[in-house]
Amino acid sequence: MSSIWQVARGLKMSYRGSDLRHRVEQLNRRLDETYAPSDGPTSDHAETATEYYDICSYLMIYGWGESLHFAPLTPQESLEDSKLRHQRLMIDKLDLHEGMSVIDVGCGIGGPMRTVVREAGVRVTGINSSEVQLARARELTAEAGLSDMIDYVETSFMDMGTIEDCTYDRAYAIESTCHAPDKVGAFTEISRVLKPGALLWGQEMCLTDAFGPDNANHQEIKRELMRGIALKKIATFAEVNRALESAGFEVIEGTDFATPPPSENGPTTPWYQPMETRSGTRRVTLRGTPLGRQLAIGAARFAETLRILPRGTAEIAKLLDRTADAYVAGGKTGIFTPLYCFVARKIP
C-alpha cells in the first residue's frame, strides 16, 4: 500500500509541467457533459478514459493497493489476500505453464501481472494507454526484480497494430474491456493477437438481472457508475457473451463472483464493503471508508496549502469519493457487479 509520501512524489513527477487543477476541472466538466441524464457519451471516450487514469491512478493506488481490481471477499482474509486468491484462480483457469507468452490487456500498474510472472513463470506483455500507469508499472516491476520477464506496449487495446497476429498463448483482461467503446471490436483485436485455441480470462463490470430500465433510481446509479469509472456503457452478462462469440470466441464459462453459491468455505463479504465499513475483512484500513475518504480530502487540501501535494489533488479525492459511493449503491441494490468473470477459447 502506498504511503502519502509516495503519492506526493508520484503526483509531482507525473504532472510536472502541467496544471493539475485545470486538468481535473476539465475532466469533471467532460464527465458531467458526457453523462448528463438526457444524453449518451458525447466526447472521445478513449481519450476520457486515458485522462481519467492518468489523473486518478496515484490516489487509487493509495486507497486500493497495487492490484486495482475487485475480488470476492471473505471475513478470514484481508483485501490484498482476497485479490491474490482471485489472481491465482485466474492462473488456474488459464492453465498457465512456464514458458508461455501471455498478454495483459489493460495492465494498469501491473499488480496481477507481477503475480502471474512470479507464480506461473510465464513472460507477460502489458498493454496500457496511460503513460502515468505504465511509468509506475515499470518502477514497481523493477523493484520486484521482474523486469526481464515483462514487456510493455503503450497503446490502446482497440488497436494493437504493432503486435503480430497469433502471438500469444494466453490473455487476460481484468476490468479493462469494460472501457471499450466497442466491445466486439476489443475482443476481436484480442483474438487477433492470440494463437488458435488460446484461452482468454476476462473480468467485466456488468449490470445484473436486478437492473430495472424503468427504475429511476437504478438509472441514476448507473449514470453515477458510468461517470465515476469513465465507462461508455455498462453491459449485461449476455451482452458480454454475445460480443465474445461475435469476435470468434467460445465462452467456456461465465460466473458472477459477487454472488457465489453457498459452499463449505463459509460466509462471504460483499465486494463493496471495504468502501463502506472496516468490518467484514481482515486488516481493513480506514482509507477506503467514507470517514477515511473525507479525511483524505481534508488532508489533501491542507497538503496543497503547504505545497506538499499539487493543487487539484483534493478534487481528485472528491471524484474518487463520489465513485466509491456509486459502487456501494450499485452493490447494495444488486444491480451492478464488477465480478463477472469468464473463460473463453479462441475458435481455431
- The string of pLDDT tens digits covering residues 187-233 is 999 999 999 999 999 999 999 999 999 999 999 999 999 999 989 89
Read off the C-alpha cell for 62: 493509495
Tell me: the pLDDT tens digits for 276-324? 887 767 666 667 788 888 988 998 899 889 888 888 899 999 999 999 9
What is the spatial distance between Cα 245 and Cα 188, in angstroms, rounded to a whole number?
Answer: 10
What is the spatial distance between Cα 53 and Cα 176, in angstroms, rounded to a whole number?
Answer: 11
What is the spatial distance between Cα 337 and Cα 254, in angstroms, rounded to a whole number?
Answer: 13
First to last CA, the chain: 42
Mean pLDDT of all residues in 134-140:
93
Tell me the angle at which helices 313-333 and 216-229 cross, rounded to the nearest 10 degrees: 140
- Cβ neighbours of residue 307 under 8 Å, at least 6 residues apart? none
Burial state string for 301-311 with b = 16 or more CB within 10 A and e = fewer than 16: bebbeeebbbb
DSSP string across 107-160? -TTSHHHHHHHHHH--EEEEEES-HHHHHHHHHHHHHTT-GGGEEEEES-TT--
Is residue 234 over pLDDT 90?
A: yes
Mean per-residue pLDDT of the chain: 89
Distance of alpha carbon 163 from the chain centroid:
23
> Residue 261 — very low, low, confident or very high, per pLDDT cuts 50/70/90?
low
Give the residue range(s) of CATH 3.40.50.150 domains in the chain: 79-217+234-262+337-346
Amino acid, single-letter form, for residue 16: R
Lowest mean pLDDT among 3-17, 42-56, 265-279: 3-17
- Cβ neighbours of residue 317 under 8 Å, at least 6 residues apart? 59, 293, 296, 297, 300
- The pLDDT of residue 17: 62
In this structure, is the dihedral angle defined by the CA atoms of residues 103, 106, 112 and 117, taken in order, positive or negative? Answer: positive
What is the spatial distance between Cα 97 and Cα 150, in angstroms, rounded to a whole number?
Answer: 16
Residue with cell 468490518: 279
Is residue 263 over pLDDT 60?
A: no
| DSSP helix/strand/coil, 218 | helix
Strand partners, 73: 269
Alpha helices in 177-254 (DSSP H): 183-193, 216-229, 237-246
Tell me: the pLDDT tens digits for 41-54? 455 677 888 888 88
Q: Which CATH architecture has domain 79-217+234-262+337-346?
A: 3-Layer(aba) Sandwich (3.40)
Residue with cell 523493484: 143
Tell me: the pLDDT tens digits for 70-88? 999 988 888 999 999 999 9
